[in-house]
Amino acid sequence: MIQLSCLAFKKDVILIKNVKGKTIDQETRCVHYHSAKDIISIKFYCCEDYYPCHRCHEETADHSAKVWPQKLFNTKAILCGACHNELSVTEYLSCKSRCPHCQAAFNPGCNLHIHLYFEV
């Protein structure tokens, strides 16, 4: 298991986010999903740790995953692997598979797994 330290710059403050799981590069791609557009990590509601995907969490966490409840969709829970900005669940769900900060393209196929991360 590789653990990445990602830096995010916001208002001259450096935020360090640890991305757990089977990551393979600094843009948080993992052994399961590693196309050019697989550049997000999700903070899991159950542990508040970032993982590149549900399979990474399943294989490396010591607990079952829990989905983000709708009432907390304003919480920052998505990390863009390109610019390392955090997005709220609401921002992510409405961004049309593109980072609103750097315009990097996200994998639109992630919508197939949305129910594994967020209350729908």
Q: How confident is the model at residue 2, as a pLDDT? A: 43
How many angstroms separate the Cα of 32 from the Cα of each of 29, 36, 81, 90, 96? 8, 13, 16, 25, 22
Instruction: Please provide the DSSP assignment of 36-75 as one string.
Output: TT--EEEE-TTT--EESSHHHHHHH-SS---PBPGGGTTS
- What pTM does this model have? 0.84
pLDDT exceeds cutoff 90 at 1: no
Q: How confident is the model at residue 17, as a pLDDT? A: 60
Average confidence (pLDDT) over 8-36: 75
pLDDT exceeds cutoff 80 at 42: yes
pLDDT exceeds cutoff 50 at 11: no
For residue 85, the enclosing domain spans: 4-116
pLDDT exceeds cutoff 50 at 70: yes
Count structural domains, the chain. 1
